[in-house]
Amino acid sequence: MRVRLKGDAICTLLLLVALCSLLYSQLEHLVPVGNKEPTKKQPSVTAKIFSTPRAPWRPMPAEATVLKPHVTPVIRRPEVANNRVTTTTRPPLTDSAFNFKRYLLNKDNRNFNLLINQPKKCRKTPGGPFLLIAIKSVVEDFDRREIVRKTWGKEGLVNGEQIQRVFLLGTPKNRTVLATWETLIHQESQTYRDILLWDFMDTFFNLTLKEIHFLNWAAEFCHNVKFIFKGDADVFVNVENIVDFLERHDPAEDLFVGDIIYNARPIRVRKSKYYIPETMYGLSIYPAYAGGGGFLLSSHTMKKLSKACREVELFPIDDVFLGMCLQRINLKPILHEGFKTFGIVKPSAAPHLQTFDPCFYKDLMVVHSLKVAEIWLMWNLLHSPRLSCTQKKQVKKPFQWKKKAQVTPQASPLS
């Protein structure tokens, strides 16, 4: 009995020792994590932010010297984001499709060479052109440029006013394409004299560079222009309406008109194309900005913006970036109902309504998201001598559209 008891006691003791050592070894694993956890709660975001831009600077002294003058702005930003630490318990911002770290590192590199220029673009007419049409395009999209040239983007007189045109291009991201396209784009430039090509990679996130470079180009080479329309190549623009509208404005005054988006919130969903982490933009609302399809500005505003944008930190969404520049010069962009930068959507109450009707387009200024053939067809229909829209009642007076409900984001009008 006693022996058994002793045996039991030893057994229990052994078990206890085993349990203790097990616990101890577990603790060793747990302790560092446990130590990290509470500290992570508060300065974690700072740590994340700082580790992102900082880490690569140390092992690369060559780059550090380049980045030296810009250390302060990078550090300034996290402080803004710091206030929101309590609301964020996100994992590090690494697995996003867009490399924010690299963007932050490179964002001070914002001056690229102009590879193809059109220095005489605005010198052809005495007093300068009335309207310069500037269209964002990519080298590969020759067919889109061609259709714009032959339709709404024609150079020449509209209502007696001189119209000029340029396409804004960067270098193709696919270098194998560049090899063959380099000669072609020079050829195209020789033929049409409407190509501006800059030496930065033409990507979605580099569109802000396009914005800056275009404004600088316009201020330098086209300062005598009266108004500018800047837009995408997949829009239909009713230039007659635009000229008519602009003739009632003074180019020496501020003017910025488009499909203005107010109180847009930064998208914090990481899978989105427009995802912006709080480290990059800490505020909850973007300044008012024009939807990408196209907008109008006066010569005066162009000059002010070209200066203001130089002082604004690069932001990967070009429309919002321009909104930030507008905010900097304290200029309120004007919403105009004639700009349908999300395309035209058939009213759900009348799905049978034919939106691909020239009379529908007759009173609009800019319609976004059109296919090449649709632009071609619409332009020809609108300019047909047989076009008669008198009996249409849905659009009575030009620019009086108040049916906001017909516009819904992300919808493509005609597909």
Ligand X SMILES: *[C@@H]1O[C@H](CO)[C@@H](O)[C@H](O)[C@H]1NC(C)=O
Distance of closest approach, residue 319 Cβ to ligand X, in angstroms: 16
Region from 24-32, 75-83, 173-181, 402-410 binding ligand X, contact rule CB under 6 A: 173-181
Q: Which is nearer to ligand X, 173 or 193 (CB)?
A: 173
Following DSSP, what letter does each residue of 196-247 receive, concatenated? EEEEEE--GGGHHHHHHHHHHHHHHH-TT-SEEEEEETT-EE-HHHHHHHHT
Distance of closest approach, residue 177 Cβ to ligand X, in angstroms: 5
Q: Does position 114 bind ligand X by CB under 6 A?
A: no
Q: Does position 177 bind ligand X by CB under 6 A?
A: yes
Give kind and range of the element (H or E) at residue 74. Answer: helix 71-82
Binding mask 182-221 for ligand X (x = CB under 6 A): ------------------xx-x-xx---------------
3-state secondary structure of 18: helix
Q: How many CA atoms lie within 13 A of 278 on its CB side?
A: 21
Q: How many CA atoms lie within 13 A of 313 on its CB side?
A: 15
Q: Does position 227 bind ligand X by CB under 6 A?
A: no
Q: Does position 176 bind ligand X by CB under 6 A?
A: yes
Region from 154-162, 170-178, 265-273, 340-348 binding ligand X, contact rule CB under 6 A: 170-178
Distance of closest approach, residue 186 Cβ to ligand X, in angstroms: 19
Binding mask 119-158 for ligand X (x = CB under 6 A): ----------------------------------------
Q: Does position 174 bind ligand X by CB under 6 A?
A: yes
* CB neighbour list of residue 113: distance below 8 Å, 6 or more residues apart: 198, 199
Q: Which is nearer to ligand X, 206 or 301 (CB)?
A: 206
Q: Which is nearer to ligand X, 177 or 389 (CB)?
A: 177
Tokens for 275? 């995802």
What single DSSP character describes residue 295?
A: E
Distance of closest approach, residue 281 Cβ to ligand X, in angstroms: 16
Region from 18-26, 47-55, 171-179, 239-247 binding ligand X, contact rule CB under 6 A: 171-179
* CB neighbour list of residue 204: distance below 8 Å, 6 or more residues apart: 273
Place of tokens 């932001």: 315
The pairing of strands 195-201 and 256-261 is unpaired
* CB neighbour list of residue 90: distance below 8 Å, 6 or more residues apart: none
Distance of closest approach, residue 203 Cβ to ligand X, in angstroms: 3
Q: Which of 103, 142, 274, 356 binds ligand X (CB under 6 A)?
A: 103
Distance of closest approach, residue 244 Cβ to ligand X, in angstroms: 38
Distance of closest approach, residue 99 Cβ to ligand X, in angstroms: 7
Q: How many residues bind ligand X (CB under 6 A)?
A: 9
For the stretch 262-270, contacts whose Cβ atoms lie closer than 8 Å and that sit 24 or more positions apart, written own/partner, are 262/288, 262/335, 263/288, 264/289, 264/320, 270/93, 270/95, 270/96
Q: Which is nearer to ligand X, 4 or 271 (CB)?
A: 271
Q: Which is nearer to ligand X, 87 or 176 (CB)?
A: 176
- In this structure, what is the dihedral angle of CA atoms 137, 142, 147, 149, given to the nearest 10 degrees? 70
Distance of closest approach, residue 384 Cβ to ligand X, in angstroms: 38
Q: What share of the chain is helix, strand, coil (3-state, %, to 5)?
A: 45, 15, 40
Region from 70-78, 113-121, 174-182, 220-228 binding ligand X, contact rule CB under 6 A: 174-182
**Interface residues toward ligand X, by CB under 6 A:** 103, 174, 176-177, 200-201, 203, 205-206
